[in-house]
Amino acid sequence: MNLNGYILAGGHSSRFGSNKALARINGKSFIEQCALTLRPFCKSVSISGRKKEYAHLNMEQIPDLISDIGPLGGLYSCLKASDTDMNLFLTCDMPYLTSEILRPLTNTETERDACIYIENNINAHPFPGIYNKSILPVIEEQILNNDFRLKSLLSKIQVESIIIDQAFKTNFSNINYRDQLDHF
């Protein structure tokens, strides 16, 4: 599958207390770890969000076309900038994801609009996820209606779902608070 990779890192990290994309585990920042996880599958890896703190990473930074609408804004901006139909997205606050965990996602050949993980056939995880550029009109309609929820987007498009292997459940954890780092 021909993929571009994107790391959503444009948020304010207010709960974390500083830019969590630059927090470190195992000697690497979260964002560096995410880039390493994406590279085996993607022809290019870019950062969704533009911050001067990311300049040293030597990755393209894609600014939000619409500010302060959360992950939907990053998804929208990156899909607009992408030169591939299918695009793989991670959030910068999931540093425990590995290439091994992403492999089933990237190996799934689908005609659907997106491919994501689900937990217990109920809880959808929009990220990591593969999204087709063809969903741009759906996102634009949501933006016009001031509906910035990813759950709404997933209900309006065709989604292929992969059940999370319970052995990797904790790898899908988001790090939103500094003290969460102590629990892994």
Would the CA dihedral through 39, 137, 50, 70 be positive or negative? Answer: negative
Tell me the pLDDT tens digit for each residue of 121-175: 778 899 999 999 999 999 999 999 999 999 999 999 999 999 998 888 888 887 7
pTM of the model: 0.92
Phi/psi-derived region of residue 114, left when phi > 0, alpha when psi is between -120 and 50, beta in every other case: beta
Positions of the chain with pLDDT lower than 70, given as ranges = 12-14, 16-17, 176-178, 181-184
Q: What is the pLDDT of residue 16?
A: 66
Q: What is the pLDDT of residue 25?
A: 81
3-class secondary-structure state, position 137 = helix
- How many domains does the chain contain in total? 1
Burial 133-157 (b: 16+ CB within 10 A, else e): bebeeebeebbeeeebebeebbeee
115 CB-near residues (< 8 Å, 6+ apart): 105, 108, 129, 130, 159, 160, 161, 162
Domain range for 112 is 3-183
The domain that contains 28 carries what CATH number?
3.90.550.10
